Structure 1
Amino acid sequence: MELAELEIFRAVAQEQSVTRAARALDRVQSNVTTRIKQLEDSLGVTLFQRDSKRMTLTAEGQKLLGYAERLLALAEEARQAMRHDVPTGKLRLGTMESAAAARLPKPLARYHASYPLVDVEIRTGTAQALADAVALHQLDCAIVAHPGTGSPRQLSMEDMAPGLEGTFLFTEELVLVLPASHPRVRRPQDVRLRTLAGFSRGCTYRRCAEEWLAQADEALRRNLTVREMPSYHAILACVSAGSAFAILPKSLLALHGDSDDFHTVPVRAAHTFLVKRAGFTTAAYEALLHELRQG
């Protein structure tokens, strides 16, 4: 079993198509097909279920994918370790949408200018999904908000996924965002809307919103509906339309040109960390951490 075979296997698993995988890897389609067949023959198992539209992993293929992710990540880490003084290679960075919009543009611009040999791959998602992806070797590191309260040093990244450790970056002030016409809110019981606009489960800010609302009476909790949205733009559009409320980082709301059109109420603080697997380090990662700490 060769690393090249595992890389091809992972690409097909991700793309669910030999054609798309070949395009992503810049290989001819016949070569991808042959290498997958050779890998299956060497292992004595079928890795993909094939039909006319897509290729999906079998149970054996799903098991191999976990090993492939770890082996390929370790190989990349080893390559970079040989050039520990020069940030180079690939760095797979996960980030929440809010951090990508409000916190990352300047640090990443400086990072790219200083270290052009690093290929930064960025994936967005909920904090929990990103933490899980780091633990599964699908990402090298991720910017996530911890759902716990207290000081940053009191929080453990193990609460999010086993084997993770994190470096504190910044604290976000979370605010309840309501239409400007909504009556003044002092406590959860004062919220008249019954729809919360937010991301899917696994979003730390959604969890904070639900925990804050849990202080309200039984009627509000029982009648609350969560409308899952694909972006913060969509969330704010729902609030502007008067059909929902949201809980967002104050730094993100400040980027919105029409922030005066909303009524906001402070809710709580949420601490944000750069998480990685325990023991993982490369020059590319350390350089990124330095830039993120500069803000």
Structure 2
Amino acid sequence: MDLSSLDVFRAVAAAGSVTRAAAALDRAPSNVTTRIRSLEDDLGAALFLRDGKRMTLTAEGETFLGFALRLLALEAEARSAVRPGVPAGRLRLGAMESTAASRLPAPLARYHAAYPDVALELVTGTSRDLAARVREHDLDCALIAALPGEEGATGLDPALEAAPVFAEDLLLVAPPGHGAITGPDDVGPDTLAVLPAGCTYRALAEAWLQGGRAGRRPLRRMELASYDAMLACVAAGVAVAAVPASVLDLRPGLAGLVTAPIARLPTLLIRRKGYRSAAFEALKAMLAPSHQQA
């Protein structure tokens, strides 16, 4: 077992194919196949199920993937530690969908121009899932919203640390023609369009609406995959939704929707305690509120 073999294993697991992994790694397919077979022989376990050219992880492969990702992440941290002040290598950033769409395009464009030697990988997800992936070394850092009152001062797992970078105004959005909303009792539709469980904005909206539903039908949830789908349901009059104001600002054609403030809360840039890299520090500086105002 060596780090090069672990990187080959990671690539095949991600691509699901030796051919695609070989292309991504700029290796010959025969070399990739040999590496995988050698790794399986060394471990004494089959890591992949082979169905023609398709490669899917076995149960043992799923288990080993977690360890492989941690070892590769530690290698990247070690390289960064001996080259302080030089942003380079890979940086794996997670972000909420709303943040990726409304807050990141401009700063990430500046980051790429300033630090071309950094391979920045961006994935989206819910706050809860992103925090778990950072804790498990699957991501280096992430932008999340933490529920007030959760564990710790920022609502985080003790293994993580955070810095606020954005302030978001979370709005309840109702269909056009809905009356003014001064509180949860004024909300007409009994259906809340939501993102998957683990979304902080969903949890805040559910708690806010539940506070004014005495004597009414239970709140129904319509789980959707994106804010575009949620807003389409609101515009059609079948649901309400909780949406950051920055997301609505990207869609001026939806100006007729009725809105009411739910909460103002920070977006946090999180990392594992002890994680250090020049690439991360450069990103943190670029996302800092003082830089945004410059």
Cα distance between partner residues in 1 of 2:216 and 2:65:
44
What is the match of residue 129 of structure 2?
A: 129
Stretch of structure 1 that moved more, 200-209 or 101-110:
101-110
Cα distance between partner residues in 2 of 1:34 and 1:148:
51
What is the match of residue 45 of structure 2?
A: 45
Deviation of 1:218 (Å): 5.0
Deviation of 1:19 (Å): 2.7
Cα distance between partner residues in 2 of 1:54 and 1:203:
33
Give the gaps of 5 or more residues in structure 2: none
TM-score (norm 2): 0.92
TM-score (norm 1): 0.92
Q: Give matches, 1:130-209, under 5 Å.
A: 130-148=130-148, 154-158=153-157, 163-209=159-205
What is the match of residue 246 of structure 1?
A: 241
Q: Deviations over 1:1-55 (max 9, x none)?
A: 1111111111222223223322322222222221111100011111122334743
Is 1:289–2:288 an aligned residue pair? Answer: no
CA contact (8 A) 1:149 1:270 kept: no
Deviation of 1:207 (Å): 1.0
Stretch of structure 1 that moved more, 266-275 or 100-109:
100-109
Deviation of 1:221 (Å): 6.0
Q: CA RMSD in A?
A: 1.9
Give the gaps of 5 or more residues in structure 1: none
Q: Deviations over 1:137-194 (max 9, x none)?
A: 11110000111159xx932421xxx511111112211110011211222222322212
What is the match of residue 227 of structure 1?
A: 222
**1:275 partner letter:** I
State, as a whole percentage, how many aligned pairs show the same letter: 52
Deviation of 1:219 (Å): 5.4
Q: Deviations over 1:212-240 (max 9, x none)?
A: 12213255462x33222222222211111
Q: 1:236 aligns with which of 231, 237, 246?
A: 231
Cα distance between partner residues in 2 of 1:191 and 1:180:
13
> In structure 2, the residue corresponding to 1:6 is in which secondary structure?
helix
CA contact (8 A) 2:154 2:162 kept: no
Q: Deviations over 1:62-113 (max 9, x none)?
A: 2211110110001011112222121111111111111112211222122122
**1:81 partner letter:** A
Cα distance between partner residues in 2 of 1:288 and 1:220:
47
What is the match of residue 98 of structure 1?
A: 98
Q: Deviations over 1:120-151 (max 9, x none)?
A: 1111111111111111111110000111159x
> Quick one: structure 1 residues 93 and 221, their matched pair in 2 at CA, closer, same or farther if it must change by over 3 Å?
farther
> Quick one: structure 1 residues 221 and 272, their matched pair in 2 at CA, closer, same or farther if it must change by over 3 Å?
farther
